[in-house]
A = this chain, B = another copy of it.
């Protein structure tokens, strides 16, 4: 059905909205696609809703094609299932909670693991029922601390979330692979520039979790990649361990009086001023004290984390490594309770002596020698050799990752880049099946605990991500797969002849199965052209003075290229371009 701009509920804005920082936010508001209702809460105006629905359609088609079955859960959810999974408590302030008129506790679903698990448990019981993949395209809620960038990080947003239910780990791997392939098709159809990054260090084995990141300077996620194709988010980067060094012939450890050297910097300066060798921060071993609390535990437990002194501990990497345990830096009171910890001079010795677990960066291998604390104020030990003078309890990925670090795949060095998460695939395993007792009765009548995968696409966010990657200074530039209309017909003039000509052209295009936005307004051609650029439909057809000679102008929004085409056969011509 032809849409005329004279009656379309659209008013473009010449000015950027005051609260907008990123291009997609500015342009989606200026071009009349979305409007803000509250922080992180937006309305979709006609053009925006069309793009949203087209993105949804692409997601749905690929999910159906990979065998997913669509269902729809409510957004208003009772507390009980989230109590079972313990997420009612774990979620903290990021979840919207409310009470109904009878005082019952409810939440607005941020994710639906519990409901999917219960749904399968409710319907299925036999091993013959599995595997199954269920998905929904649904409005979700998250009370973000800092909603930002318009619909890029909203508090009410549309997600496609799906879950796979398998009898075996191999089945889960296969479901995961099929989702991965479907996501590649989805993001390719949306013409996105994206990378697939490892999202965990692989504690669960292999690529148990990957994120799809749209490359974008304004992105909130940092990731690294190497020239050989390696890509990972920072939390997932693994540090290649150097080969161990033979212990024979290494100098003995010596304790030195190093007054006023509680920091790496003061220590290195002191050593270089008072010794015969030259030290750098990389020669020192920094022992950072944290405490961890495994799920279900009531007490915090001390943990020493040893990293080369030229690197900080990256709390996000540390947290990812400790999951599902919580982790926190020690407070003054913790030091007070553990007087064997000599702040600024902590060494592996006191940790071992007091039964504190000590995990080190993978670079700290047997035979490497370190300057580190001597567990005594103003004293450090030099040439403390790993595997000879101390034995760590294991390794941990906690040190910061830097551009220039060697790539874990052994090919070249890492570079850092920024992206926006558009998809996440994750081998969830049996966490929720365990919580809810989701079993299938096997052929031998014994129960088989189901293993699950979790897969998400940020559908409404994708509208902003596409805008973020595809725009110029004049406005939006939609890929054909999601453009609100196929063709924008601009009547460049106010005469009755031109208007009639535009209507005829538009009708012919519609008859050929193209969707058309006709600018039939009584505005100047300049205003109309500027709006066409801003609105961003990829093909602009100008009905102007040339019409009298049977000519129209066709403009490609992305390249700016203009060509003259004959009025006769316009539908075939434009169809050929749109459907190319």
* A interface residues (Cβ-Cβ under 8 A, vs B): 1, 7-11, 32, 35, 37-38, 41-46, 49, 52, 64-65, 67, 69-78, 93-94, 96-98, 100-101, 104, 106, 108, 115, 119, 122-124, 132, 134, 139, 141, 143, 145, 155-156
Contacts and interface: CB of A to CB of B under 8 A. Distances in A.
B37 A73 contact: yes
B123 A69 contact: no
B38 A75 contact: no
Contacts of A76: 38, 41, 96, 108, 141, 155-156
Contacts of A65: 1
20 contacts: A1-B64, A1-B65, A7-B67, A7-B132, A9-B132, A10-B123, A32-B123, A37-B73, A37-B77, A41-B77, A41-B78, A43-B72, A43-B119, A44-B72, A45-B123, A49-B70, A49-B72, A76-B141, A98-B108, A101-B145
Given A38-B76, A43-B71, 15 more contacts: A37-B73, A38-B74, A38-B78, A38-B104, A43-B73, A43-B115, A45-B123, A46-B70, A75-B75, A76-B156, A96-B98, A97-B98, A98-B108, A100-B143, A101-B145
Nearest to A7: B132
Contacts of A101: 93-94, 143, 145
Question: Assembly of this chain: how many copies?
Answer: 2
A421 to B, nearest CB: 22
Contacts of A97: 98
A282 B96 CA distance: 58
Most chain B CB within 10 A, of A1, A35, A124, A145, is at: A35
A46 B64 contact: no
Contact of A69 (B9, B139, B155): B9
A119 B78 CA distance: 32
A132 B77 CA distance: 36
B38 A122 contact: no
Nearest to A118: B37
A123 B74 contact: no
A119 B10 CA distance: 11
A77 B39 CA distance: 10
A119 B77 contact: no
Contact of A71 (B1, B45, B78): B45
Contacts of A7: 67, 132
A462 to B, nearest CB: 16
9 closest Cβ pairs, A-B complex: A98-B98, A44-B72, A38-B78, A93-B101, A11-B123, A41-B74, A74-B156, A9-B69, A76-B156
A429 to B, nearest CB: 22
A1 to B, nearest CB: 6
Contact of A74 (B37, B46, B71): B37
A65 B70 CA distance: 28
Contacts of A41: 74, 76-78
Nearest to A122: B35
Given A9-B134, A38-B106, A77-B37, A69 B96 contact: no
Contact of A139 (B35, B49, B139, B145): B139
B46 A69 contact: yes
A478 to B, nearest CB: 18
A42 B74 CA distance: 6
Given A72-B49, A93-B101, A139-B139, A38 B1 contact: no
A35 B64 CA distance: 22
A76 B40 CA distance: 10
A37 B115 contact: yes
Most chain B CB within 10 A, of A32, A74, A93, A155, is at: A74
Contacts of A141: 76
B43 A9 contact: no
A400 to B, nearest CB: 30
A352 to B, nearest CB: 43
A40 to B, nearest CB: 9
